[in-house]
Amino acid sequence: MRRMMGIFTILILAAGFSAGYGLTGDEVLNKVEDSLTGPQDMESLNILTLANSDGSGKEIREMKMYVSGNDMRVVKFTKPAGVNGIGLLVTGADQIWIYLPEMKKIKMIQGSFKNDSFQGTDFSYNEIGSYEYKKDYSASIQSEDDKTYTLVLTRKAGSEKTYGKVVMTVDKSTFIPSKAEFYDGNTLKKVMDIIEVEKMGKYDIPVKIKVEDVVKKHYTEMVMKDVKFDQGLKGKGIFTQQYLKKKE
């Protein structure tokens, strides 16, 4: 009996040891990425609202987006008329094409601008439809409370990411970040808020995201509609130059 009590005590202590130390920052970040990139693929109609931080100069844009994994994307603008039909195909790090409907031309473009603004929005090309962090950042837990972790992500050596530091607030129950602040040195440059997360089947999908460039005092809010996932988009030939030309 004494021996049984001893084993029980060890088990309790082991559990306590584990609970006390919890997850590491990198483990939380892994879970964040897993939760955000859960679906094998995703299709959505995205409504983008661009405006100055004070709400003036509002513009509405609409685009169809297809995502598979971390590096396959097709984005096609449908509104306004000035950008209708312009499409972007990404199939890998240095495999990016833009379709210009006016000239019926598919043009290869290089990837070093990936951190630049995506078609005048506050998202960079890298950030549209992508939630890949662990490849470029190592994470540590800055603080935590009952509901959230606050992570500090530090850019890894050799990474091409613009921001050296990201402070991310993560919901403990879903591992979906609610806020991310992007710093260049110690200067805050950009803030991303995941305003609305919707449970769709087995996935938690961020469906309303706002990114504000605090330097330019300008924001872009993206609302995702008609979200479909796990359709086997890759097998349907979506991530091809042939599909890039096709009207949505």
200 binds another protein (CB under 8 A): no
Q: Quick one: which segment of 10-18, 25-33, 115-123, 167-175 binds another protein (CB under 8 A)?
A: 115-123
Query: Considering beta carbons, is residue 123 or 229 the nearer one to another protein?
Result: 123
CA distance 75 to 228: 15
C-alpha distance from residue 194 to each of 5, 58, 187, 211 (Å): 48, 20, 21, 9
Residues 82-111 that bind another protein (CB under 8 A): 82-84, 92-96, 103-111
Residue with tokens 């601008």: 113
- Are the C-beta atoms of residues 31 and 23 closer than 8 Å to each other? yes
Q: To the nearest whole angstrom, how small is the minimum distance from the Cβ of residue 248 to another protein?
A: 7
- Position 27 contacts another protein (CB under 8 A): no
Q: End-to-end CA distance of the chain: give it in Å, rounded.
A: 72
Q: How far apart are CA 167 and CA 161, in angstroms?
A: 15
CA distance 97 to 82: 19
Q: Which is nearer to another protein, 20 or 82 (CB)?
A: 82
Q: Does 120 bind another protein (CB under 8 A)?
A: yes
Calculate the CA 148 to chain-centre distance. 19
Per-residue binder mask for another protein (CB under 8 A), 32-61, x = binder: ---------------------------x-x
Asked if 112 touches another protein (CB under 8 A), the answer is yes
Q: How far is the CB of 209 from another protein (least distance, A)?
A: 18
- Alpha carbons 192 and 78: distance in angstroms, whole number: 24
Q: By CB under 8 A, name the one of 27, 34, 116, 230 that touches another protein.
A: 116
Which among 212, 224, 227 is positioned nearest to 121, based on CA atoms? 212
* Residues engaged in binding another protein (CB under 8 A): 59, 61, 80-84, 92-96, 103-113, 115-117, 119-120, 162, 216, 218, 237, 240-242, 245-248
